[in-house]
Structure 1
Amino acid sequence: MSTGRRLEKATPETWMFPPADGWTHEQVKELDLPFDWELVDGVIVARGQTVPWHNRVRDRLLRSLEDAQCEPYEVLAEQSVRLNERNTPKPDVVVFDAHGQDLWELECVPIQWVVLVVEVVSAGSQQDDRVRKPALFAAAGVPYFWRVEQGADRVPVVHEFWLHREMGTYIPAPEHPVHREKLETPHPFPNSIDLAGLVRR
């Protein structure tokens, strides 16, 4: 492949034709497409359509975590995380250590800053949220992962996972692996969330 081709930016006309070794973040970061997407192994992948339940739970979880957050943590929704130059997944919610950093200059959150990833499962994201993304973030060393499923009466159920560093995989949190009605955990900072309240009108 020529050097010129390697340095090309993806455009709305060329994004579906990545170079042989895939697009990089630098090549796609300014790309404007009429759908939400993320970079996976150098390929631009459309993110699944979400429903009001997913969006409300994500947004209210974000607010709850923001209310509980303490220094040096920051909490963002739908923010790209940079694992490497060809992988910038976009978790529903991400908590990261931004000590000494300029938040407003960020393009992507570097993976080494991330302490918690939250994924809210919807019909179009089950395989990603239950299998691919946990494996991806565990391999990258993210300490905590929450998978949020729809439970009885649409009340969210939170599955809390901790990273087993020797195995490089997530294991159910030993203290309280599944949270129903109320989530209480000291990780990555103390928080208590009324899960039923997330869907209350």
Structure 2
Amino acid sequence: MGAVMTTPGQERATEDTWMFPPADGWTFDQVKHLELPFDWELVDGVIVARGQTKLWHNHVRDGIADALKAARIEPYTVVTEQCVMFDDRNTPKPDVIAYDPRKLNFFEQECVPVANVALVVEVVSPGSRQDDRVRKPALFAEAKVPCYWRVELERDHQLAMHEYWLNADTRSYFPAPMHPVHHGKLITEVPFPVEIDLEALVGF
């Protein structure tokens, strides 16, 4: 694997230099202004392209977000495709999050602090399998995000919702004890009571 090219003294990434991070990586402030021809996340100071999603993925993502918005209780709110701030070099962008907006500056906030996040939902697509199944669960569990849902499209074009809860002592997720995998309908009480008709999300 070749050496990573760096740009010594670079204060802000540009459309020509973003792929050459400094030795310690870009910070969010150095890259947030970029207008790149793809969606991206900042991972350990490196800009990583997010894969192109298919129509079904976006319908499922938006349907889950709508159901969560309808069911949410105070103080939670729900948003899609919003960057989450772990630190200044790590700002992943989950498909959906439920978070506590209290004490956040609604009009100035660029990323949601990970400490405010109660639920992360990732809809798995071919280009995100490793991230959604391995890297992101470990990342969000380490940060003590209480709930993680992973949505998979199965071979019969039905959805499987994998529900995980946090073990705060080990900072790792374990399958929800009563219903670790939901088919047909998701019914859960955490982070707040919600029912989601999974079949309807892929039925037209």
- TM-score bracket for this pair, using the shorter chain length: over 0.9
How many residues align? The count is 198
Cα offset, 1:152, TM superposition: 5.1
Alignment partner of 1:105: what SS? Answer: coil
TM-score normalised per structure 2 = 0.93
Is 1:39–2:42 an aligned residue pair? Answer: yes
Alignment partner of 2:107: what SS? Answer: helix
Is 1:114–2:117 an aligned residue pair? Answer: yes
Counterpart CA distance in 1 for 2:21 and 2:183 is 43
Cα offset, 1:5, TM superposition: 4.9
> What corresponds to 1:181 in structure 2?
184
Cα offset, 1:199, TM superposition: 1.1
User: Contact 2:123/2:152 (CA < 8 Å) preserved in 1?
Assistant: yes
User: Contact 1:143/1:162 (CA < 8 Å) preserved in 2?
Assistant: yes
RMSD: 1.4
Residue in structure 1 matching 2:147, options 139, 144, 152:
144
The answer for unaligned runs of 5 or more in structure 2 is 1-6
Alignment partner of 1:85: what SS? Answer: coil
Alignment partner of 1:134: what SS? Answer: helix
Residue in structure 2 matching 1:22, options 16, 25, 30:
25
Is 1:87–2:90 an aligned residue pair? Answer: yes
Alignment partner of 1:192: what SS? Answer: strand
> What corresponds to 1:129 in structure 2?
132
Counterpart CA distance in 2 for 1:104 and 1:96 is 16
Cα offset, 1:88, TM superposition: 0.1
The answer for unaligned runs of 5 or more in structure 1 is none
Is 1:60–2:54 an aligned residue pair? Answer: no
| Bigger fraction of residues in helix | 1
Is 1:169–2:157 an aligned residue pair? Answer: no
Greater shift, 105-114 or 95-104, is seen at: 95-104
Cα offset, 1:7, TM superposition: 6.1
> What corresponds to 2:11 in structure 1?
8
> What corresponds to 1:104 in structure 2?
107
Counterpart CA distance in 2 for 1:97 and 1:7 is 35
Cα offset, 1:106, TM superposition: 1.5
TM-score normalised per structure 1 = 0.95
Is 1:76–2:79 an aligned residue pair? Answer: yes
User: Contact 1:97/1:114 (CA < 8 Å) preserved in 2?
Assistant: yes
Greater shift, 99-108 or 54-63, is seen at: 99-108
Moved over 4 A (4+): 4-7
